[in-house]
Each structure stands twice: as structure tokens, then as C-alpha cells.
Amino acid sequence: MALVVNVEEIISNAIGGNRRSLSKLLTIIESGKSIPTNNLGAWTLGVTGPPGVGKSTLIGKMIIEWISRGEKVAVLAVDPSSPKSGGALLGDRMRMAISDANDLVFVRSLATRNHPGGLTSFLAPMISLLSQCGWTRIIIETVGSGQSEIRIVAFADRVLLVEGPDRGDIIQAEKAGIIELADIIAINKSDLPSAQLAADSLRNSLSLATETAIEVCLVSAHLGDGVAELVESIELIKTDSNRDTIRFRERLLSAWDSRLISHPQFNEIIRALSAGTITLDEALEQIS
Amino acid sequence: MGMRIVIAKPGLDGHDRGAKVIARALRDAGHEVIYTGLRRNPAEIVRTVLDEDATGLGLSTLSGAHDVLIPKICKLLRSEGMNDVIVFAGGIIPDYDRDELFSQGLRAIFGPGTQTKEIINFLQDVNSRKENGEPVGVGEELGWHW
């Protein structure tokens, strides 16, 4: 089987531009094996937002813009696994039509699976690997609906929040705390009449906060309007230290979680807790 | 054990209800399914299988172009060195075309009326054959098909 082949050889092939080797290495990382990678300052963007706002379609259009600027774009598209069957339906790449034919684009769909510690423990090595293989723009896409998704985008150095023209979505994002992480917000579907209103009211609500202003862009992934401007704004993002702090907080929490869950006595301690033989404080004592 | 499977719609064929039903059924059986969307050409489909490192590829075709598109996809997979990918098809594929497709490395053809359970059984069978080192891939020794 391919997996027993010398990993270092596969790595050097992948760095040499062999897509199959890169693809196999991502599988190896996802299976929980660690491979030697070094992070040489990868350029990463997290893209998140509620379901159906057009994240994948917008990324598809942004890819075209980046390619015209001479970049090589890799996308890690994350979708949830079914907690019942463990299976997953990964449909993000169908919205990025260009992804299937161009040598300057690499799209990999990832299911969250029921990994101990979640997907987050694999994101850092995957990003390093992609960067080492010459991908200059690395995008992590995830549905922004909960804490685990916030943790996924927190692995990117800049975050784009995509919203629909429906104000209700924005309230949801505010509740989820994603707005705090965003460096820039795009209101998609600007071809619909309510988009301008949504952008105005969002700008209004953001201006109530005294911290640095977050740019709100209007785009239409469908028509391509505003995409070049959005990419330009993303390129110019100077992330402020507040958001950096939040990001590193989330990364540390994920790392802590996965260390906790992979603790050899984890299940044993849970059983003891549910049997009532130890208290939570005692459990913490045992783990640390 | 769940597999990574690409479900693809090759060629000029706008009907994907069947493909979506299959994708859903495979997901519920614990597989990770990557759906390509409509009207993909062979090169795009093979690229998807490559980038996603999929173990299986299911092709849904109802347009009558199966005898051109499926062999093209099988050949491309082999020329890219993806001999171990398991390829199966479904849709409207007449009996008299099937032997030719099996000779291209296709391992199963599911026609109208197939229960989704049968496809899941096929994948289970394929998986255990693969584990035993038996040929099931598109570029591996011919002989067995579902």
C-alpha cells in the first residue's frame, strides 16, 4: 500500500509539485500520523459565515482574482460529519467550478470526523505542508455556526466573515462571537435589494464599538461585483493585536482540548465521574 | 470503515436526483462523499478524485454518453497512476453496453430500481476484497465485477 512508502520521499515529491503526493500526505496527516513539516510563514485566510450565504461561490470567484495576481490558491473546505453515521456530504467544491481544472488551484474537502480533539490538531500541519509545497494563498472555509467552527477559523491569520443580506444572520453571527474574530466582513448577494440596507445597519452596529473599525464590503459572488475590491482589501489587512489575542486564545484552547481528550485515562475518569466515585475537582487533579 | 467517495455527473446531463440520493445514502452508511455537481468533464472528475484522495468514484449518467465518457475517465485515472481507485456507475446504461464498460475497469453498474442498500453492500464487498489484496481498482487485473 502507498502508505508504507517512505514518507520523506512522498514529501519531497509533493514539494516538487506532485499533486498526488500532496493529496496522499493530507490523508496521512488526517489519519493522525505526524509528518515533519516546518511553517515558513504560510499566508492563511479563514472564511466563515452562516449556511447558504455563498461562501464557497465567493471563494470560487476570489480564486480567479488571486490567480490573475499570480498566486497559487489552496482551499481546505471543512464540513461537519454526521454524528450518527460518521459519514459526511462534502459539497463545497461544486460551487468552485474553476477548482477542478486549473493547476493553480488545489481544493481539499475535510470532514470534521469524530477525531479526538477535533479537526484542529491537523490544521496546523496541513497548512505548513501546503505552504511548503508552494501554495501562496491558503484558505480555510467553514460554516460559522458554533464554537468548534470559531476554533477552525482561528487557525488562519486573517478572517473573512461572509454574511447574507438578511439581518437575522448577522445577529446569529454576533451571538456566536464570530464578529470578534473577523478582520473584514463581506455582505454577499449585493444584487439583491436588501444587501445595501444590511451593510448599512451592520456598519452602524459596528461603529458602536470603540475599537478599530472593521471594513464591511458589498459583493455579489453571482455577478462577480466587488470581488476584486474585496481581495484587495484582504491583501491589505493589518490584523490588530486584539484579534490576534482572541485567535491565539482559541488555538490554545483547542490544543488543550485535544490534549485532554487524548489523555490515557480520559474515558476511565468519565466513567468514574458518572459512577459518582470521584468529584470534578478530583478528576482535574488526576488529569494534571 | 468509511471510505472517501467522489460522486460525479459527467457530461451534458442535467439530472442529478439519483446522484444526490446515492450521495445521501452513502453518507448515512458512514462514508465521506464529495459531490462534484453537474456537467463535469473527464479531466475535472479525475482532478477531483486526485485532490480529494478518494478511494471510490461513482459516475451517474442518464444522457446516453456513458460509452464515451466512462472509458475516457477510466483511461485518465490509469494514466495519472490512480490504478487503485474503485469505479462504479449508475443511471441509464443498457445491458448491451455493460461488458465493454467492465472491460475498462468498471466494477459495478446499478440500473433503475436498485436499492441503495445494494450499493452499500457492493462497497463493503469491495472493501474486504481490497483488504485481501484482490484486484478491485480501475487499473488492476480484470475479472471480478459486482
Asked, for residue A247, whether it belongs to a domain, the answer is yes
pLDDT tens for B63-86 read: 999 999 999 999 999 999 999 999
Q: A68 and A101: one domain?
A: yes
What would the grid cell of residue A287 be? Answer: 488529569
Q: A137 and A175: one domain?
A: yes
For an interface test with A, give the residue of B4, B6, B9, B34 to mutate (most A CBs within 10 A): B34
Asked, for residue A268, whether it belongs to a domain, the answer is no
Q: Which residues of chain B are within 8 Å of residue A79 when distances are taken between CB atoms?
A: none
* DSSP H/E element including B79: helix B66-79
Among A85-94, A154-163, B6-15, B102-111, where is mean pLDDT lowest?
Answer: A85-94
Q: Which residues of chain B are within 8 Å of residue A20 when distances are taken between CB atoms?
A: 50, 80-82
Q: A22 and A45: one domain?
A: no
pLDDT score of A287 = 83
Asked, for residue A61, whether it belongs to a domain, the answer is yes
CB contact under 8 A, B52 and A109: yes
CB contact under 8 A, A87 and B43: no
The mean per-residue pLDDT over the stretch B4-21 comes to 92
DSSP letter (8 states) at residue A220: B
Asked, for residue A98, whether it belongs to a domain, the answer is yes
Q: A85 and A110: one domain?
A: yes
Indicate the domain borders of chain B. 4-131
Q: A185 and A112: one domain?
A: yes
Quote the mean pLDDT of chain A: 85
For an interface test with A, give the residue of B32, B36, B46, B82 to mutate (most A CBs within 10 A): B32
Cα Rg of chain A (Å, integer): 20
**What fold characterizes domain B4-131?**
Rossmann fold (3.40.50)
pLDDT tens for A244-257 read: 888 888 888 888 88
Beta strands in chain A (DSSP E): 44-49, 73-79, 88-90, 105-111, 137-143, 158-163, 184-187, 215-218
Q: A211 and A116: one domain?
A: yes
CB contact under 8 A, A27 and B53: yes
Q: From the CB of residue A51, how many other CB atoms can be counted at a distance below 10 Å?
A: 10
Q: Which residues of chain B are within 8 Å of residue A72 when distances are taken between CB atoms?
A: none
Asked, for residue A276, whether it belongs to a domain, the answer is no
CA-nearest of A181, A113, A151, A147 to A254 is A151
Q: Which residues of chain B are within 8 Å of residue A106 when distances are taken between CB atoms?
A: 51
Q: A29 and A41: one domain?
A: no
How buried is A220 (Cβ within 10 angstroms: 0-12 exposed, 13-18 middle, 19+ buried)? buried
Q: Which residues of chain A are within 8 Å of residue B43 when distances are taken between CB atoms?
A: 100-101
> How many distinct structural domains can be found in chain A?
2
What would the grid cell of residue A272 be? Answer: 468514574
Q: From the CB of residue A70, how many other CB atoms can be counted at a distance below 10 Å?
A: 8
pLDDT score of A122 = 85
CB contact under 8 A, A89 and B24: yes
Q: A114 and A59: one domain?
A: yes
CB contact under 8 A, B35 and A89: yes
Would an 8 Å CB–CB cutoff place A287 in contact with chain B? no
pLDDT tens for A85-116 read: 888 888 888 888 776 678 999 999 998 876 65
Stronger pLDDT, B78 or A147, i.e. the higher one? B78
Q: A17 and A117: one domain?
A: no
Would an 8 Å CB–CB cutoff place A83 in contact with chain B? no
Report the CATH number at residue A157: 3.40.50.300
Asked, for residue A89, whether it belongs to a domain, the answer is yes
Asked, for residue A1, whether it belongs to a domain, the answer is yes
pLDDT score of A187 = 92
Which range of residues forms the domain containing residue A123? 37-260
- Please report how the helices A241-261 and A120-132 are oriented relative to each other, as an axis angle in degrees rounded to 10: 120
- ipTM of the complex in this document: 0.91
Pairing of strands A215-218, B108-110: unpaired
Asked, for residue A17, whether it belongs to a domain, the answer is yes
pLDDT exceeds cutoff 60 at B140: yes
Q: A30 and A93: one domain?
A: no
